[in-house]
Amino acid sequence: MIDILIIWLALFSAFVVRLGMQDFVNHKALFFQLCLLCPVICLPINIRMGLYRAVLRFVGPQVTLTILRATVLSVTGIILSTYVLGWAVPRSIPFLFGFILLFMLGISRYGARYWLAGHKLKDILLTPFSIAGKPDQVKRGKPVAIYGAGEAGCQLISALDRGWEFRPVVFLDDDSAMVGRTVYGRKVHHSSKLPELVEKAFVDQVLLAMPSLSESKRKSILRDLEALNIPVMTMPGMDDLVSGRLKIQDIKEVEIGDLLGRDPVQPDSQLLNQCIHGLNVMVTGAGGSIGSELCRQIARLECKSLVVFDHSEYNLYRIEQEIMQLKEHSGLSFNLVSVLGSVNDPRRLLDVISAYKVDTIYHAAAYKHVPIVEHNISQGVRNNIMGTLYAAQAAMVGKVANFVLISTDKAVRPTNVMGATKRFAEQVLQAFSTQEKVELMHAKMFGRQQHQFVENQTRFTMVRFGNVLGSSGSVIPLFREQIRSGGPVTVTHPEITRYFMTIPEAAQLVIQAGSMGAGGDVFLLDMGEPVKIADLAKHMIRLSGFLEKNNDNPEGDIEIQYTGLRPGEKLYEELLIGDNVSDTSHPLIYRAMEESTDWKILTQGIERILLSIESHDYDQARSIMVDFVSGFTPDSVLVDWLFLSSNQSTNIKKSDQLETAES
């Protein structure tokens, strides 16, 4: 109906422009004839061209071309029809009609689009100039600046224009060639103008649309944005966008890794493929942070089969579903096997290794949370020491070629049980690497006779690194949740520092380091510079658009509270026990030459530790680990829950006895 009115109005305008109002009266009969003819010709053409199938809320630039084609065909049809009918129509009127109709049809579509998106009439009329006007011209959504006027920025603004949550009002860019231009109706300003735009309340938030930017450049931009105390969000890398099409859901909070990350080093394809390509690979602890990323990267390296092994049913299900989707979307053809089991079940380990003829094992199964292990010493010992021991012995019995242990910087001069158990596990593998034949510990659990020797054909490698960003138990998700809740953000100590690395980078370096070892090697990953946790918390507060509340700024939004070091927690972490470290062929991987202990002596220590924890003598168990782990100096009293419970029971009994004696 609106298009019929537009056709009549365009026809009337063409007559008035061509003939004037006085002569128009003399041609009224012809005008009314054309008023009947033009809709009969134009509307079917519009229908055929799909103008009435388009959802007006989502029409884009392509609608202009469609309208142009429909108008050209309509004008051609009108000229031919009037010629056949013998009507004396001035030759310029059909062309004038066409130009006016094209303009009015286009205006009606774009006007409807903006009106349906919640704009008012004055906003629709002033859209190209909205940045120069008042900040409250459009009430819909948060006013945001798009940082990056390139292809990604255009995709982003096109998507945001169809939604309600964000209102893009301006582009920012560092490219002087782009400054001053207009892109998608928004003016491009230099990034240095952002403080002024924020101050005038034009912009409440910044969306970073530069996915292909180098890590160093991204870090520099975020440092500048951080000082403005407005929320900063980002879109993912182009590799993560499906077919280059953007969704609003793809916009996310800036990862703290963008501030701590570094430019990636090109991986060595030979090292990546050496222990994986065309081989049967198994990952223990496959549902964990590092284990799951190892699975993703191993899958992409075209292994023959991938065995994902985990004791958590939920974690196993989650990684299985993810790898199946990756396999389907990437057209990969490896065999995926998801196995529910514990590394403390030697028979289960050996059965899986033998059934699937495993060539390489990445042993990521471990308890890594320092305070939790400190409160549960027996389980830390069983999982981290015995689990590694059983997995390594199963690898030797099953003739696995490569065994890579995922270790931690907390194994270096540990102050906690978790770090001590991980260093003990390293020593087990170092001891195995020095022997051609190994006398199995608890051999009957592997279906072997006691004191039976097994030929060692397995190459054992250990890879040691620090914290990974976003892992389970990481401070990053905790800080983010605390910020969302309005604070306070809790930090244990103002001087506590940690090394950080992104999970994908850590997994990639683990795979490459695991291919380098000759046997018994301890590899260290270059973690970059250590980061103060307090500074990290401050960065996250500012990038979320809040001010830190402290003595200097009592009117701030979110306070940082220092809660004190937890049991076993160190202020600083290290990666090297001694001073003997050498370079490798990879610039971010180093080889450490560290002392090892004879296997027979280690077995004696392990048996003593097991006897201690079976009798709940956790103080004795910790003392034995002090003897075997170089530099292990517990810095807290014993806090194991069962130890505390038994002490509490003893104290209650003593109190009861005292009361009886007094009575």
pLDDT higher than threshold 50 for residue 156: yes
Residue spans of alpha helices (H) in 86-137: 92-116, 121-125
Nearest to 482 by CA among 540, 556, 422, 400: 540
On the 0-12 / 13-18 / 19+ scale of CB atoms within 10 A, 3 is middle
Phi-psi region of 137 (alpha: psi -120 to 50; beta: other; left: phi over 0): alpha
Q: Tell me if the pTM is above 0.75.
A: no
Could you tell me the two tokens for 596? 């090892």
Residue-wise pLDDT tens digits, 71-99? 999 999 988 998 888 888 888 888 999 89
Judge if 59 and 190 occupy the same domain: no
Residue-wise pLDDT tens digits, 601-648? 999 999 999 999 999 999 999 999 999 998 899 877 888 888 877 665
- CATH number of the domain bearing residue 543: 3.40.50.720
Confidence of residue 311 (pLDDT cuts 50, 70, 90): very high
Positive or negative: CA dihedral 292, 294, 298, 301: positive
Look-up of token digits 């892109």: 183
Identify whether 60 is part of a domain: yes
Identify whether 261 is part of a domain: no
Judge if 248 and 275 occupy the same domain: no
Identify whether 663 is part of a domain: no
Cα separation, 409 vs 463, whole angstroms: 10
Buried b or exposed e, range 494-524, using 16+ CB within 10 angstroms: eebbbbbbbbebbbbbbbbbbbbbeebbbbb
Instruction: Out of 199, 227, 254, pick the residue that ends a domain.
Output: 254
Cα separation, 576 vs 464, whole angstroms: 9
pLDDT higher than threshold 50 for residue 652: no
Kindly state the percentage of the chain with pLDDT values over 70: 86
Judge if 457 and 585 occupy the same domain: yes
Confidence of residue 252 (pLDDT cuts 50, 70, 90): low
pLDDT higher than threshold 60 for residue 240: no
Identify the three-state secondary structure at position 303: coil
Judge if 417 and 519 occupy the same domain: yes
Peptide bond into 371 cis (omega under 30): no
Contact 569, 492 (CB under 8 A): yes
Judge if 443 and 588 occupy the same domain: yes
CA distance to 27, 69, 533, per residue, from 90 (Å): 10, 23, 80
Check residue 385 and report its DSSP letter.
I
Identify whether 409 is part of a domain: yes
Judge if 403 and 481 occupy the same domain: yes
Identify whether 323 is part of a domain: yes
Judge if 225 and 278 occupy the same domain: no
Contact 422, 463 (CB under 8 A): no
Identify whether 641 is part of a domain: no
Lowest mean pLDDT among 61-65, 230-234, 311-315, 644-648: 644-648
Judge if 224 and 273 occupy the same domain: no
Contact 377, 610 (CB under 8 A): no
Nearest to 341 by CA among 388, 392, 284: 284
Judge if 249 and 292 occupy the same domain: no
Contacts of 19 (CB under 8 A, 6+ apart): 27, 90
Judge if 321 and 398 occupy the same domain: yes
Instruction: Out of 222, 254, 286, pick the residue that ends a domain.
Output: 254
On the 0-12 / 13-18 / 19+ scale of CB atoms within 10 A, 575 is buried
Number of domains in the chain: 3
Identify whether 187 is part of a domain: yes
pLDDT higher than threshold 80 for residue 215: no
Residue 293's pLDDT is 93
Nearest to 620 by CA among 643, 599, 636, 602: 643
Segments forming the whole domain that contains residue 82 = 2-116
Could you tell me the two tokens for 610? 């097991």
Q: Where are the beta strands (DSSP E) in 503-643?
A: 521-525, 531-532, 548-549, 558-562, 581-583, 589-592
Side chain identity at residue 255, one-letter code: E
Identify whether 126 is part of a domain: no
Judge if 273 and 246 occupy the same domain: no
Residue-wise pLDDT tens digits, 286-310? 999 999 999 999 999 999 999 999 9
Cα separation, 533 vs 400, whole angstroms: 40
Judge if 501 and 456 occupy the same domain: yes
Cα separation, 61 vs 161, whole angstroms: 13
The residues that are catalytic are: 410
Contact 205, 545 (CB under 8 A): yes
